[in-house]
Amino acid sequence: MSEHEPPGGALPPPAPAECAALGRLEDLPADYVASLRERHLVPLWPSLRALLPPDLPARRTRVVHWAYTQIRPLLLRAGELTPIAKAERRVLVLANPGHGPDSMQASSAIYLGMQLLLPGEWAPSHRHTPNAVRMVVEGEGAWTNVSGQKLPMSRGDLILTPTGLWHEHGHDGDAPVVWLDVLDLPLVHYLETSYHVDGGRQPVEPGAAERRYARGGLVPSPGFGRRHEAYPMLRYPWSEARAALLALADETAVGDAVQLEYVNPETGAAAQNLLGFHALMLRPGQTLTLPVRSPAAVFHVIEGGVDARIGASAAEQTLSLAEADTCCVPGYTPATLANRSRREAAFVFVADEAPLHRKLGVHEVRT
Ligand code: 1HN
């Protein structure tokens, strides 16, 4: 099941009729089932079809649209109800009901939360095993200190806080700041490897490390500021990503996708290990059909208004996404994005599970 090969290699997938019904638990004598249970044993065959359904995996992840106009007042209310000292991180989690009403999951591997920091507040330093990124949604004047790098947070900026790195948030501005947190927490928690360590206030190193990697294709020469850390670049300013998308659009055939991936400038690999991050531009009036792929994905509108048609024709849903809205799309699901404006480009931040799928060898593109 490589990216270039459909499941089953050269063979067509078996027709559902060829999937014979298997024996059920109810077909077995009750005393036999009871003795299995006593010995912590389970027969496979009653569950085999559910574990390995024909042709297409079962997915709990549902299509969900979170409108920012609905989140914002509730988040500001959280700011009145719960002081930062009582919350540490003041977040409303975007919980996909397919994973349960109180789930902390947007998809099987992706956690999403909207975080509020009010002027003068400080969210103390800690580090943890899950990887996180922040996509700044609203407000100016906040900063995140990651490993001594004090990174300003402006609308559309992507800030990395990879696994194990100390991070704290502060706010020197005068209006609320909101950002979207994207973590691989559901997977790291499932693996029983999720934990954190508390720290105090973190020292700030002088200089702005991000300026060492200010332009793609140019990295500091060895011995002249080259970063040997696993994560040399921690802030990807929106002004740079937006300019790069506009330049790429000039070199891209009309109708083709204008999309950039956030990568590690030293290795060219995805910026973090498990989740992938991209910026997508839709030209004025452009409609873009995305390839059907195995990873679940999240779309967050940075600028503009986008109609998202999601799902196969019989079960298609249309979401009307406004600026700062977020939606999630299960894997193996067709999606078409359309820029509602005929005059302005629209810009979308995409997070997906592709690096993880590639590492696991389960990444698939279906045509
Ligand atoms: C976390 O550390 C932050 O540092 C935000 O801002 C959300 C959700 C789960 C676990 C850790 C943060 C988080 C989180």
Which tens digit of pLDDT belongs to each residue from 228-269? 889 999 999 999 999 999 999 999 999 999 999 999 999 999
Q: Higher-confidence residue: 19 or 9?
A: 19
Mutation probe of ligand 1 site: the residue of 89, 165, 171, 194 with most atoms within 8 A of C-beta: 89
174, 316: one domain:
yes
Does the Cβ of 162 fall within 6 Å of ligand 1? Answer: no
| Nearest CA residue ID for atom 6, ligand 1 | 89
Residue 210 near ligand 1, beta carbon < 6 Å: no
- Among 81-90, 212-221, 279-288, 330-339, whose mean pLDDT is lowest? 212-221
Q: Which domain holds residue 184?
A: 64-366
In-domain check, residue 86:
yes
Q: Is 90 in the pocket of ligand 1 (CB under 6 A)?
A: no
Query: Which pLDDT belongs to residue 13?
Result: 55
Point out the ligand 1 atom lying closest to the alpha carbon of residue 194. 10
- The alpha carbon of 89 and the centre of ligand 1 are apart by a number of angstroms equal to 6
Domain count, the chain: 2
pLDDT in tens, 174-220: 999 999 999 999 999 999 999 999 998 889 998 777 889 999 999 99
> How many degrees, rounded to 5, is the angle at CA 65 between CA 312 and CA 306?
75
Average pLDDT, whole number, for the chain? 94
- The verdict on the CB of residue 183 being under 6 Å from ligand 1 is yes
Residue 314: per-residue pLDDT: 85
Mean pLDDT, residues 286-298: 98
- Please determine, for residue 1, whether its predicted confidence score (pLDDT) is greater than 50: no
- Determine, yes or no, domain membership for 57: no
Residues 308 and 331 in one domain: yes
State the pLDDT at residue 4.
Answer: 43
- 96 and 32 in one domain? no
Q: Are 241 and 235 in contact (CB under 8 A)?
A: no
Show which of 5, 27, 51 is a domain's final residue: 51
Does 7 reside within a domain? no
| 3-class state of residue 68 by DSSP | helix
Flag whether 11 is in a domain: no
pLDDT at 225: 80
pLDDT tens readout for residues 130-176: 999 999 999 999 999 999 999 999 999 999 999 999 999 999 999 99
CA of 124 to the centre of ligand 1 (A): 11
Q: Are residues 157 and 238 in the same domain?
A: yes
Supply the pLDDT for residue 20: 86
Checking if the pLDDT of 9 tops 60, the result is no
The answer to whether the CB of 159 falls within 8 A of the CB of 136 is: yes
Look at residues 28, 51, 74 and tell me which one is the last residue of a structural domain: 51
Within a domain: 1 = no
Cα 47 off chain centre by: 31
Cβ–ligand 1 contact at 109 (below 6 Å) = no
How many whole angstroms separate alpha carbon 42 and alpha carbon 246? 57
Is 56 a domain residue?
no
Q: 300-328 burial by CB neighbour count: b if 16+ within 10 A, else e?
A: bbbbbbbebbbeeeeeeeebebebbbbbb
- Residue with the bigger pLDDT between 18 and 20: it is 20
How far, in Å, CA of 212 to CA of 219, rounded?
Answer: 7
Q: Do 45 and 152 fall into the same domain? A: no
Give the model confidence (pLDDT) of 83-116 as tens digits.
999 999 999 999 999 999 999 999 999 999 999 9
What residue's CA is closest to ligand 1, atom 10? Answer: 185
Domain membership flag for residue 5: no
Same domain for 45 and 181: no
For residues 36 and 178, membership in a common domain is answered with no
> What is the number of the ligand 1 atom nearest to the C-alpha of 167?
4
Q: Locate tokens 């409303």: which residue?
A: 92
CATH code at 220?
2.60.120.10
Check whether residue 86 and residue 25 sit in a common domain.
no
Q: Within this chain, do residues 72 and 218 fall inside the same structural domain, yes or no?
A: yes
pLDDT at 7 over 60: no
Residue with tokens 């977040």: 91
With a 6 A CB cut-off, is 116 part of the ligand 1 pocket? no
Co-location of 30 and 134 in the same domain: no
> In this model, does residue 15 exceed pLDDT 90?
no
324 CA from centroid of ligand 1 (Å): 20
Query: What spacing in Å lies between the alpha carbon of 59 and ligand 1's midpoint?
Result: 26
Cα gap 143→161, rounded to integer Å: 12
Q: How far is CA 261 from the centre of its chain?
A: 13
pTM of the model: 0.95
For residues 128 and 46, state if they share a domain.
Answer: no
Which residue owns the Cα nearest ligand 1 atom 1? 89
Same domain, 107 and 254: yes
Q: Is residue 10 part of a domain?
A: no
Q: Could you give the C-alpha distances from 291 to 36, 319, 335, in angstroms and in order? A: 45, 18, 8
Ligand 1 pocket member 167 (CB < 6 A) = yes
Reported confidence tier of residue 8, pLDDT bands at 50, 70, 90: very low
pLDDT band at 2 (very low <50, low <70, confident <90, very high): very low
